[in-house]
Chain A
Amino acid sequence: MGTPPIGAEAREEERAAYLDETARKFGISVEDYLLPTDGSIRILDETGAIRPVAEQGTAPGHEYPLPEGDDLLAAYEALVVGRRVNDQNSALVRQGRMAVYPSSHGQEACQVAAALCLGEDDWMFPTYRDSVAVMTKGIDPVETMTLFRGDWHGGYDPKKYKVGIQSTPLTTQLLHGVGVAHAAKLRGEDTVVLAMCGDGATSEGDFHEALNFAAVFKLPVIFFVQNNQYAISVPLAHQTAAPSLAHKAVGYGMAGERVDGNDLVALLAVLRRAVRLARDGHGPLLVEAHTYRMQAHTNADDATRYRQDAEVQEWMAKDPVTRMRAYLQSESVLDDAAEARISEAAEAMATRLRDGMNEDVAPDPEDLFRFVFTEPTTQLNEQRARLVDELARDAATDTEATR
């Protein structure tokens, strides 16, 4: 093994060259490459009409060609299904079939784009609010939702699906994404990782550590921030004084971009370019999507205590589903037959969720001890035996009582 170069000077050249090379690829300065464009990338306006290219928010080196029609129809289907998933799950919570559901209603375009921009071997690291993204990446809806039914702390096998756990602690999962990408890079695999968090989470220490590690090790990670304006009740202004969350990227030496989070066309364009760049060795990147959490934080929250109805109404007009529908209809990509087929798919998903969540799966108390370690310790076996004995005695008492 060759001795690595020693000293700050030797390493400095290596550091500068990396960014120079990427910026040169786009014919712009390093600063212009790292900083987000002045506005958000937005391809569709609020009515679903294509904006003139000059008004899409692009800049030299930040160009985004329009995705193909067929591709967009498939994405629209995922969007409609995602909306149905959110509304069905919220209903299941109200009916007492689920303990809690943090809905991404209003953010479905972000959810769908996060999953659809990735290749089969790429990993996604979602949060608790990203169930729709998890399902869009192909995980069985019932496996996803058992977490929220209260069966266990996780329902699916992250390794099998290449989807991390739906993390509850904020931004801790970004570092897991960094680790997965680092392992892949060390083995020479071209895996890309998309790691998700919200606007409030960008205040956490692990946000900083994850972005910094990814940048220092030049890892193919896309940090995808869904800025839905609120961390439970606290608005963005209390989280940051930065011009935008995408601007945070420049401090790490990575490129940041802002995108309209309710414009599925723009999201797909921006995230797909980010994935391509990361796969080609120009990672990491930060993408901030500007969106809105239409409902309360969870069913346990009361959003009327901290925001005005007028604000919610304003965002209602920017709904990602109606925008996308209008655009695809205007392009004659979406006709009545396709719409009917997509509605049916959404209904089938809702039925699957209802059936799955209405199923009562009794937990096995002995599972408490099974997975703490790969093999239970002597102490855990003793505790398990005690619980089993207790349950047997309870059962015997019950039998006695019914006699």
Chain B
Amino acid sequence: MKQLFLERSNPRNQAFFLCLVSLILFVVDGKSTVLTPVRQAAGSLVEPIVWLAVLPRRIAEHGSSFFELRDQQRLELFEQRRSSEMLQARQLKFEALVSENNRLRALLGSSAKVSDLVLIAEVVGVSPDPDQHYVMVDKGLNDGAFVGQAVIDATGLVGQVAETTTNLSKVLLVTDQSHAVPVLSIRTASQLIVEGTGNRNLLSMRHVSESLDLKVGDLLVTSGLGQRFPSGYPVAEIARYQLAPGAAFAEVLAKPSSHLQTLDHVLLVFDSVEDLIPDVALKTVGPADG
């Protein structure tokens, strides 16, 4: 006879036990890095699931280019060639400037580098919780990505790599609540730390003393302090500066330079050529526009 109720152990005890295990795991994994190797290894195994999520978009892109009219494609190609020529021309001047800048810095004895190398990555997944600001990108350990690596896009700093598996990385955005980045105001060279607020359009600065010369519209770029981010990438523009009478610190809010709500491609920044994996370097890497 078919058994109606198949129970091996008391389900209530089982559920209670697993709840407890979950809580302990959550505290351990949330507060420490003990489980990072486990996450890395197991994460590599479940990568195919993330690829499954990219599949529809890949098919759509392929399909739309397949059905696009030939004339339209020709026009697009023409325009892209023109813009590429223009960028190349600008690049000529840029390279001269970089070498000149590096020479001058060498004369001054300063070690800051201007030239950086980048790797293009596609955003393949987003955080399901809109209050956790991270994205998954399609480059991982195999491509030389590492935890703490700076991530930029064409308009400014995006964030940093927080976790990597074989072929994927999790990128924490500058607007995440747990993110902070040392910056420098271009106009006055004042040093600040910009923190994420949990709002995709807003960054904040704490402990800004009233004597600091800041005003709305000032551009903040990475200062390179702390050695995590390379210097000189735009991070944000000051959107609000308010000094209440009697307050110890000014309230300063800034708007991120890059469009963090609509990322589709980002660039991973490498400090030196040696960090790059050779065949990757040959294929996809070019100098970044600093």
Please indicate whether A and B come from the same complex rather than being unrelated chains: no
